[in-house]
Structure formats: C-alpha cells, structure tokens
Amino acid sequence: MESPETRGASAQPRRKTPLSRETVLAKALELVDSDGVDALTMRRLGQELGRDPMSLYRYAENRAALLDGVTELVLDDLCIEPEDPDWKEQLRTIAHNLRLLALRHPNLVPLLVTRPLSTPLGLRPLGTLRPLEQILSLLIAAGFKPSDALHVYRAYYGFLYGHILNELQEFIVDPEENEALLRLGLHRLPPKEFPRLRALAPALAEYDGLNELDQGITILLSGLETQLSLNANRS
C-alpha cells in the first residue's frame, strides 16, 4: 500500500526537459522530414514540444528564422576541407555528401535550393554561407583566380542542385511492372511525338542517382582541370 508521501511524489508532474536552440531546431527538422515545410509553424512546433508557441520566439524570432535555422542545422553536417590539396576529389566528396543529405531530408530540398534566392547574400545565415567560403578557399588554393573560383562555385552548385531535383523526381509509376515502358508510364506518350523518350525507356528505368552524379562531376572536373592548366600556361 502506498504511503501518503509516495502518493504525493507520484502525483507531482514530471519536469520538462529544458529547451535550447538545438533541441528546438532538431524537432523542427523532424517535423519537416515527416510532414513537409508547410507544416512547420510556431504553433505546430509548440505542440510537438509540449510548450507554449510564444516561448519559442526566444530561439527563432519568426518562422523565416526558424526555416533558416533548420537549413543551417542540415548544412552543418556537410563536411568540407578547404585545405585538401586534392581539390577534385574534395569536390566529388562534397557532391556525394550533399546528395546524401538531400535524400535524407527530401522535404528540405526546396529550402536549400530556392530559399537563398529570396535573401541578399550578406543577409543570409552564416551557416548557409560557410560552404561558399570554404569551397572558394579550396579553389583559390588549387590555383584558380578568385573571380574564376566564384564562376566554378556557381557552375558546381548549379549542377548539384539540378541533379538533386532531377533525382528526387525520378518516380516509378508501377514498380512491379517488368516492361520499362509501362513501368515509367511512357506508353501514354504519343509514339510519333516522343520517339526518343520511348526508345530510352530501359535506360530511364535503370536510373542510378549515384552513377549519374559521378558521370556529371567527372565531366565538370575535366573541364575545370583543363581551364586551370590553360590559366597556368598563360601566367
């Protein structure tokens, strides 16, 4: 039989785990991963954390700041070594790691790809600018002029974001169907208007995101290496 002291102790409410910016952003990322970016609001996040939504404003002043924080949290996992002398292998590694982050958090990809466009460079969160600074350092150390390094960065990330968006859209209509044309739904296309697409059905059905990324990166790096050699010969 419980004593009055035991009953009083069990009746006491459990203390809530103290909040921090890290725990708030981690829960926000969980919410985006499960229900998408549109589901992330202060009210919904407060419900998930069991807190008054108003208490969250000390960690993010508004929803926009919350979205920026979640983006920074994910990009913190992108390891870049600007001192690596093998700049080509480093760019390939970064590409693979960014792809894995995108596949792990597909609902966050629109924030990574399009959100920065709505914010002037100097006003973006530092965590989203750090990869730019590090890759510029990597390229300049490799021998690229600073202005050329910026062009390389833009081409590099343009390719990566394009690849990621393309890979995430590679949906299979009927995975159980053996015929590639039917599996991709390409049989619905008029044969006279889309002969190339229909003929490429087997190759399209065997899409390998990692291999496609490597193929593209190899082409890009070959061109950059040629450019670097030409610049070295002129100087």
Per-residue pLDDT of 117-126, as tens digits, reads: 566 777 778 8
CATH code at 124?
1.10.357.10
Is residue 190, in this structure, part of any structural domain at all? no
- Please, which pLDDT band fits residue 201 given cuts at 50, 70 and 90? confident
Cβ(78)–Cβ(93) below 8 Å:
no
Is residue 149, in this structure, part of any structural domain at all? yes
- Please, which pLDDT band fits residue 196 given cuts at 50, 70 and 90? confident
DSSP output for 145-188: -HHHHHHHHHHHHHHHHHHHHHHHT---S-TT-SSHHHHTTGGG
109 shares its domain with 133: yes
Q: Provide mean pLDDT across the span 196-221.
A: 85
67 shares its domain with 94: no
Is residue 197, in this structure, part of any structural domain at all? no
User: Residue 117: is it exposed, middle or buried by C-beta count within 10 angstroms (0-12/13-18/19+)?
Assistant: exposed
51 shares its domain with 105: no
Q: Provide mean pLDDT across the span 28-44.
A: 95
115 shares its domain with 224: yes
Please give the mean pLDDT across all residues of the chain: 85
63 shares its domain with 103: no
pLDDT attached to residue 119: 67
Reading the block at residue 62, the tokens are: 């508004």
pLDDT attached to residue 93: 96
Identify the residue with better confidence: 209 or 7.
Answer: 209
60 shares its domain with 90: no
| Structural domain for 216, as ranges | 84-170+207-234
Reading the block at residue 152, the tokens are: 């390389």
pLDDT attached to residue 187: 76
Is residue 48, in this structure, part of any structural domain at all? yes
57 shares its domain with 88: no
Q: Is the pLDDT of residue 156 over 60?
A: yes
Is residue 66, in this structure, part of any structural domain at all? yes
Per-residue pLDDT of 55-71, as tens digits, reads: 999 999 999 889 999 99
94 shares its domain with 115: yes
41 shares its domain with 155: no
Q: Is the pLDDT of residue 45 over 90?
A: yes
Most confident of 9-13, 141-145, 164-168: 141-145
Is residue 213, in this structure, part of any structural domain at all? yes
Q: Give the total number of structural domains in the chain.
A: 2
155 shares its domain with 102: yes
Rg (CA), the chain: 24
Q: Provide mean pLDDT across the span 133-144.
A: 96
Per-residue pLDDT of 84-125, as tens digits, reads: 999 999 999 999 999 999 999 999 998 888 766 566 777 778
69 shares its domain with 88: no
Which residue type occupies 138? L
159 shares its domain with 98: yes
Looking at 20-24, 65-69, 152-156, 182-186, which range is the least confident one? 182-186
Q: Which of 30, 49, 73 is the last residue of a domain?
A: 73
Q: Which of 53, 73, 93 is the last residue of a domain?
A: 73
Q: Which of 52, 73, 94 is the last residue of a domain?
A: 73
- Please, which pLDDT band fits residue 174 given cuts at 50, 70 and 90? low
- Percent of the chain residues past pLDDT 90, beyond the cut: 57
pLDDT attached to residue 167: 84
Is residue 179, in this structure, part of any structural domain at all? no
Is residue 7, in this structure, part of any structural domain at all? no
**pTM of this structure:** 0.78
CATH code at 42?
1.10.10.60
Per-residue pLDDT of 68-80, as tens digits, reads: 999 999 999 999 9
